[in-house]
């Protein structure tokens, strides 16, 4: 079942660091919404309500409904400033979206089948997720919550690239537009196993040396 998220906000009049601090003491945080052929607007959002939304992965790559008083519009989350120590959001940026205008968003990549991949199950390898999210371009209606990559057929030494990542119709991977077909996931032996394999020939050669000396004697 797909999730939907609503962010309730109020217009913000007072500006500046002092006003923002006073706002946070009341359990709210400053935010801004921009784009969509409208001027930027400063708003305030209830911190606790927002914090509950942030626990859901889909909130970061979903079309959100923003209610400002009696008005409603569609937005996406573009930036989030967190406190470096406390579990607290300091500021949030939202961008309005228009149905007929392309948007760029980062969406998470989900991997499936890793436990049954031949390179893991019989080859003793391990899967390395080189990308956990990718940037996509699409119309708001086509925005996926996540992209899923099947790694169940991977063997040791193999990699899967961006061009092998399935995307829905109407969605484009931004990196591929720049001819950057970077690897998304790879499967390789653990470092310890690789080091042991490299050391074995050297150890065998070292063991042979005393035998040669004994023959000469």
Residue with tokens 């996509």: 136
- pLDDT score of 204 more than 80: no
Q: Do 126 and 155 form a contact (C-beta atoms < 8 A)?
A: no
What is the location of CATH 2.40.240.10 in the chain?
6-98
Mean pLDDT of all residues belonging to the chain? 90
Q: So what CATH class is 6-98?
A: mainly beta
Q: Is the pTM of this model over 0.95?
A: no
Tens of pLDDT, residues 90-145: 999 999 999 999 999 999 999 999 999 999 999 999 999 999 999 999 999 999 99
Pairing assessment for the beta strands 71-82 and 89-96 based on DSSP bridges: antiparallel
16 pLDDT band, cuts 50/70/90, is confident
Q: Within the chain, which residue ranges are assigned CATH 2.170.120.20? A: 104-194
Fold of 104-194: RNA Polymerase Alpha Subunit; Chain A, domain 2 (2.170.120)
pLDDT score of 209 more than 90: no
Q: What is the pLDDT of residues 43-94, one digit of tens each?
A: 999 999 999 999 999 999 999 999 998 899 999 999 999 999 998 999 999 9
The overall longest dimension of the chain from CA atoms, in Å, is 99
53 phi, psi to nearest 5 deg:
-65, -40
pLDDT of 201 over the 60 cut:
no
């Amino acid at each position: 079942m797909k999730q939907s998220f609503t962010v309730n906000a109020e217009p913000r009049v007072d500006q500046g660091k002092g006003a923002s601090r006073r706002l946070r003491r009341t359990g709210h945080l400053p935010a801004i919404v921009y784009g969509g052929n409208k001027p930027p607007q400063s708003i305030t959002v209830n911190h606790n309500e927002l914090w509950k939304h942030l626990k859901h992965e889909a909130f970061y790559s979903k079309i959100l409904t923003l209610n400002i008083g009696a008005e409603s519009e569609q937005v996406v989350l573009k930036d989030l400033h967190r406190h470096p120590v406390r579990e607290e959001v300091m500021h949030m940026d939202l961008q309005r979206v228009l149905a007929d205008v392309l948007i760029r968003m980062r969406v998470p990549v989900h991997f499936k089948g890793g436990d049954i991949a031949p390179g893991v199950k019989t080859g003793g390898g391990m899967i390395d997720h080189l990308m956990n999210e990718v940037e996509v371009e699409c119309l708001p209606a086509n925005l996926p919550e996540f992209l899923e990559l099947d790694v169940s057929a991977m063997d040791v030494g193999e990699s899967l690239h961006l061009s092998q990542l399935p995307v829905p119709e109407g969605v484009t991977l931004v990196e591929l537009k720049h001819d950057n077909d970077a690897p998304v996931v790879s499967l390789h032996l653990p470092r310890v196993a690789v080091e042991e394999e490299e050391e074995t020939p050297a150890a065998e050669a070292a063991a042979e040396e005393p035998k040669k000396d004994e023959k000469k004697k």
